[in-house]
Structure 1
Amino acid sequence: MTLKVDNLTGGYGRLPVIKNESFTVKAGETVGLIGLNGAGKSTTIKNIIGLLQPQSGSITIDGLRLKDDITKYRQQIAYVPELPVLYPELTLREHIEVTMMAYDLPKEATWQQANELLKTFRLADKLDWFPINFSKGMKQKVMIVCAFMTTAKLYIIDEPFTGLDPLAVRDLLALIKEKKSHGAAILMSTHILANAEQNADRFVLLNHGKVRAEGSLDQLKTKFGTQDANLDDLYVQMSQED
């Protein structure tokens, strides 16, 4: 599986936020999408999942474009947004059932997977709760369960640690590692740079809507000319560029 973003320009209306952006995410790797607020991370993700239409360039998953087959394209992606999006009239159980239908998943096997995730994130006794009963962190956990119970090839995670307690952060990182070991591709946008540095294989650094640098931490150190730097140092250096 390969996500390929090729010369992508996009934004809102006629205003481009990202310009000629190119990078890949391959099976079995985690790529950290890093940048300041307004650098284009969320715009990039919205173009990949189909909430925005590219102004130019292309996005493919194993060569498949959104317009080729919308359902097949989207079934290859599981998405955890920065802000949880839940249906107020549906219980947790019904959110899981809707996810199964959206991805055309086998009921019995998927419920086994979902129940394991519910136990891990301490939601097993909340199946009949409505979103109004959940804290922000619990809502985020619901989004994580619904995404990771799927058999998606590409997991896109936007600021996943916001609102999570340290135990849930640990469990999410373990889950990402497990999915990656089974051949999934992970694109993770986060400002928690220590977690990104420890868990991502490569990084895409965005600045002013463009890819400033791409590669492993060692490759980024070479590109920035700072061999003793960590990801936080590189982030600060990039933020000071015009």
Structure 2
Amino acid sequence: MDTLKVKLNYAGYQKNSKIISNISFDIYPGELVGLIGPNGAGKSTIIKAILGLLNEVNGEIIIPGKNQYAYIPEHPTYYQEFTLWEHIELAKAVNQIDGDEYDQRAEELLRIFRLHKKKHQFPTSFSKGMQQKLMIIIALLIKPKVYIIDEPFIGLDPKAIKDFLFILEQERKRGAAILMSTHVLDTAEKICDRFLLVNHGQLIAQGTLAEVQEQSEVDGSLMDCFYELMEDME
């Protein structure tokens, strides 16, 4: 089964801490699910629990395949002593990917994201948006069964956002499951199949836009529904 399954009774950063609780959802092959919530709502904690980065987790996480996921962080991480291309070669070696197809795909993605002239430069000299593009390229090259993406649009120019969304659509058609945390609600409403709305460490609604509208009793946009649900919790 290629489904990402998350069932968290509770999770936190230290023993006996419960930052999030009663979080349960599945993401199926070909789905793009938006993780929505204000700052401090628990979105990053949910992602870290899925990635196995928390000290306190009570529940079960099932990721299809062994290490078959790619994580695109909100804040790019890289090796200062490696060039852009050396990062791409490192990802190839770590994931034990063989063949020239990987290199050809890397060159193609570098052209799409307009980094082909900087392949032998160090990411330390890049803008935040360029560093984010490097994170995106490496994730796409792995071709995982699951993408976990945290605020991918920050720092990206409009063309890069359009190109990224187009490639994500191709990955969905390939059968990848995608969990995307974002504050950009109008974009999320257009591209996501379902939504997970989080506040105060708990799921306050989930489902398609129509289902969220029903749960919030608002016949409006995702943002309208979200604000109504937020007010109900105050």
Q: Partner of 2:215: helix, strand, or coil?
A: helix
Distance 1:61 1:118 in 2: 29
Distance apart, 1:126 and its partner CA:
0.9
Distance 2:159 2:229 in 1: 31
Alignment of 1:50-199 (within 5 A): 50-62=52-64, 72=66, 74=67, 76-199=68-191
Q: 2:23 aligns with which of 21, 24, 28?
A: 21
Query: Which segments of 5 or more consecutive residues in structure 1 lack a partner in the other structure?
Result: 65-71
More moved, 102-111 vs 20-29: 102-111
Distance 1:149 1:42 in 2: 24
Check if 1:6 corresponds to 2:32. Answer: no
Q: TM-score, normalised by structure 1?
A: 0.92
Distance 1:23 1:169 in 2: 27
Q: 1:239 aligns with which of 193, 215, 230?
A: 230
Identity %: 47
Distance 1:232 1:164 in 2: 22
Distance 2:56 2:92 in 1: 29
Q: Partner of 1:125: helix, strand, or coil?
A: helix
Distance 1:148 1:209 in 2: 30
Query: Which segments of 5 or more consecutive residues in structure 2 lack a partner in the other structure?
Result: none
Work out whether residues 84 and 118 of structure 2, in 8 Å CA contact, stay in contact via their aligned partners in 1. Answer: yes
Check if 1:41 corresponds to 2:43. Answer: yes
The aligned residue for residue 69 of structure 1 is none
Distance apart, 1:54 and its partner CA:
4.6
Distance 2:83 2:230 in 1: 43
Distance apart, 1:175 and its partner CA:
1.1
The aligned residue for residue 68 of structure 1 is none
Instruction: Give, as a single letter, the amino acid of the residue that structure 1 aligns with 2:166.
Output: A
Instruction: Give, as a single letter, the amino acid of the residue that structure 2 aligns with 1:126.
Output: K
1:181-216 alpha-carbon deviations (Å, 9 max, x no partner): 110000000000011000000001111111111100
Work out whether residues 214 and 220 of structure 1, in 8 Å CA contact, stay in contact via their aligned partners in 2. Answer: yes
The aligned residue for residue 30 of structure 1 is 32
Distance apart, 1:55 and its partner CA:
2.3
Q: 2:215 aligns with which of 205, 209, 223?
A: 223
Work out whether residues 14 and 55 of structure 2, in 8 Å CA contact, stay in contact via their aligned partners in 1. Answer: no
Work out whether residues 49 and 77 of structure 1, in 8 Å CA contact, stay in contact via their aligned partners in 2. Answer: no
Distance 1:17 1:55 in 2: 10
Instruction: Give, as a single letter, the amino acid of the residue that structure 1 aligns with 2:53.
Output: L
Distance apart, 1:234 and its partner CA:
1.3
Instruction: Give, as a single letter, the amino acid of the residue that structure 2 aligns with 1:231.
Output: L
Q: TM-score, normalised by structure 2?
A: 0.95
Work out whether residues 27 and 185 of structure 1, in 8 Å CA contact, stay in contact via their aligned partners in 2. Answer: yes
Instruction: Give, as a single letter, the amino acid of the residue that structure 1 aligns with 2:23.
Output: E
Instruction: Give, as a single letter, the amino acid of the residue that structure 1 aligns with 2:48.
Output: K
Supply the RMSD in Å over aligned alpha carbons.
Answer: 1.2
